Amino acid sequence: MSKNLTQAEILRYSRHLMLPEMGLAGQQKLKDSAVLIVGAGGLGSSVAMYLAAAGVGHIGIVDGDRVELSNLQRQVIHGESTLGISKVASALGRMLDINPHIQVTSYEEPFTAANAMRITRPYHLIVDCSDNFPTRYLTNDLCVLTGKPLVYGAVYRFDGQVSVFDARRGPCYRCLFPEPPPPHLTPTCAEGGVLGVLPGVIGMLQATETLKILLKTGEPLIGRLLLYNALDPSFEFVKLRKHPQCKVCGEQPSITGLIDYQAFCDLKRQEDALIEETYEISAADLAARLEQSSSLQLIDVREPHELEISALPGAHNIPLGQLAQRLSELSRQGEIVLICRAGVRSARALEVLWAAGFTQVSHLRGGINAWAREVDSRIAVY
């Protein structure tokens, strides 16, 4: 009997112990390992539960958000009983319920350049389960600078990606994507949607890669990007190469410390917001305007299937992706009000119309969800 595994643990992990690639020694490796999960959302849910069940001895999880009802379609570590509490507290309770023999450390705070080194110091490996580019670049740069492997995953609509970035043995995330994209070109799951089971598939693949690295068995996805499409369904692999001019892991790196990408992206968002706020209209003001005049052109830039959920009478539907090709359907004489779900796509549509020379244009602040909350409660919020 192992001197460190108790009888209860031996029984719990018995199906592991029968694997020749695992055995008592492999299970002990997992117990002695420390893994940090960045993000307690859809990907983090799957990763956290499977690493806990597998017996990884110390698991950290960092996230500054709280559990919301719209999370539960895919973030299966949470439930209605944990609505409103922090995601890391919700995750911690579920993980210890799965396996009380492990240690879980929760960090109820955003993952930033100011705290990243402190949070990651005790961990051997980082799993990126974030949902935004600032965190992905920050996590990548930190792993390169500290020599820690990074298990990456991302999902959007029906597509997912998985890879392992370890600059000591292959490329890093920045070799693939050198710079963060502009904020207005980065759609989120909140805007584009995501199939609820997809984060489970990608998260389990991330958990698998994590266990392989900790056990030093199999071939981790270093130098390969796995692409999964749930509709086909299909798995494809793209070979990745280390970029000699990479700013963080290249031959002459220019990034030698952590950068607060959130501040960088927020600055651009603030600049855009100053412009957009000048040309936005509240739901209450739009309702008053519609009572006074019928000359407003209401243009809904959502996808057609979204109009089945909620719609404003009289609004003309032109999806954002088709707007530039369908400008002839708009009158340059009257005032145009753009509408979407929450005000994000309509703000982008605003830029499209400005670029095309339209001057009498504004967009509904908060989108049709704001209209439902402030003007007409009969309309569904989604």
Q: Is 11 exposed, middle or buried (0-12, 13-18, 19+ CB in 10 A)?
A: exposed
- Report the distance separating Cα 135 and Cα 129, nearest Å: 9
What is the DSSP code (8-state) at residue 370? H
| 252-280 CB burial, b ≥16 within 10 A, e <16 | ebebeebbebbeebeeeeeebeeebeebb
- Report the distance separating Cα 345 and Cα 365, nearest Å: 11
Torsion angle, CA of 15/20/21/27, rounded to 10 degrees? 50
Q: Are 310 and 340 in contact (CB under 8 A)?
A: no
Of 120, 103, 97, 93, the C-alpha closest to 37 is 120
Residue type, 263: A
Residue type, 34: A
Of 51, 46, 41, the C-alpha closest to 101 is 51
- For 70-93, the DSSP string reads GGTTT-TT--GGGTTSBHHHHHHH
Of 64, 177, 49, 56, the C-alpha closest to 119 is 64
Q: Are 138 and 112 in contact (CB under 8 A)?
A: yes
- How many angstroms separate the Cα of 299 from the Cα of each of 153, 184, 318, 342, 380? 36, 20, 7, 14, 19
Q: Which residues are catalytic?
A: 189, 340
- Three-state DSSP class for residue 184: helix
